[in-house]
Amino acid sequence: MNTQHPASSLSRRELLKLGMAAGAATALGPAFSAQALPMPSKPNILFLMTDQQRGDCVGAAGNPAIHTPNLDRIAREGALFSNAYTCTPSCTPARTALLTGLAPWRNGMLGYGRVGEGYAIEMPSALRDAGYYTTGIGKMHWHPQRVLHGFHRTILDESSRVEHIDFLSDYRAWLFTKDPNCNPDVTGLTFNDFRSRVYALPEDYHPTYWTGETARHFIETYDRPEPFFLKVSFSRPHSPYDPPKRFMDMYSGADLPKAVVGDWEERYVPRSDDSPNIWHGDMGAEQVRQSRQGYYGNISFIDEKIGEILAALEKRGMLDNTLILFTSDHGDMLGDHHLWRKSYAYEGSANIPMIVRWPKDTLSEARGRVLDHPVEIRDILPTFMDAAGAPGSETLDGKSMLSLIADEKAPWREYIDLEHDRCYDPLNHWTAVTDGHSKFIFHCETGEEQFFDLDADPGETANRAADPAYTDRVQQWRQHMIDHLAPRGEPFVIDGKLAVRQASYLYSENYPGCKCHGKDPKLNDRRS
């Protein structure tokens, strides 16, 4: 792979090739070495993502219990965004924002349904058109399952998700070739199970192993002239919480965080149903610990495979020519506030990891930083388009995070909007706004409001919406939400006030092919 250019041929713009705005590039001029190393005309882009990983489940984010040395390394050699969120915290709407760089209203998905089949700008096609060879490995969760959205190819692990009788994921095809009599679901946990168990098959049968090995082999054998865009999408730590034994044992005596409980969630104490797929219920401290043990073990297994991917980049001499971004589609409540799974506005569900490592001698020499700007999953596509020099990102709702890496004082948004249509129950239907320091939540079915002071109360244990000491702040954040929703008109805002909406509104008018509000003629199942 020959993507190098002599140092003497590089312009200043090429040294700042990741596509910063001209003002940011000028401001950062003195930070760059006059003896810059040769750089590729465009960086490779490695996009690492997990499914359902909380933002606080990375060692570099301040969690002393979790073992993530490779993610910590990426943060140490890059930047960690501490106030990163997913706009619609369940799998398919989050992945739609990721695919399109658009907010929920503009991409059309306000809750859990099927990802639209086509948008004007999509991540793989934008990078393909910019000259990249594009490959996706692991979980995409698109419909139809083999749709490419501009990828040259995808190599899929769709867990047990099968939408058509003719579909077999590449992971399961590989597994059945390896062991024709294997039952990949023999561990016995369901797809949204709160329980955890040691993976019942050999470690090298696990989907995490397969995804990591497939990505490593891609890097070791890559020989095309184009830079690559490689998306590596692990299907864990999303339940089942089923790490191999050595990773379960890693946390057998660990002091894992206990579930956070506050003064407002008594309604969630009763178990929502008798299945293992509950969405609320006080299952006791020991069950929370067991669930977290399996969940943490899955994350550490993924981290090990990420380390092998980084090692493959280093061996090929590609690491310093590659932009690396790590994130997740949403989090997991893991019993906090007696809630399980996701789709909530609370930190365990909505806050996600966001770590960026940029190529050598570009953007900034200041590495290992923690940035507290409110960033979001829809910022990832503009970031990649910025790096690739791809046109059109100004039409998106997200913004390139490279500008913040280059200059922490660069213009940025004041807050982020979050929402989710009905999920699990009509009462789980809300909109929210946050900057990572304050959070205002409006529950659409009842009009209930919640306000959390995240600096003083990061666990969201005390609802300050009716606290006289917070009256002005609550009104300020309520107005932020009104301003955000007002362009939609009724039924979101009526006479300048937030309106109760006792009905589903799953798709906006911007959903591809949508002909009616709140109704999907081909409703997806609820296995998000």
For the annotated catalytic residues, the residue numbers are: 91, 141
CA 102 to CA 338: how far, in whole Å? Answer: 32
Please say whether the beta carbons of 77 and 60 come within 8 A: no
Token code pair at residue 299: 């994350």
Tokens 């095809």 appear where?
Answer: 173
> Position 480: which residue type?
H
Nearest CA to 126 out of 381, 380, 379 is that of 381
Q: Coil, strand or helix: which one is 83? A: coil
CA 439 to CA 477: how far, in whole Å? Answer: 8
Strands 430-434 and 438-443: antiparallel
Q: Coil, strand or helix: which one is 84? A: strand
CA 456 to CA 464: how far, in whole Å? Answer: 11
CA 101 to CA 95: how far, in whole Å? Answer: 10
Beta bridge partners of 322: 44
CA 449 to CA 143: how far, in whole Å? Answer: 35
CA 406 to CA 263: how far, in whole Å? Answer: 42
Cα separation values, 166 from 163, 169, 399, Å:
9, 10, 39
Token code pair at residue 197: 């168990």
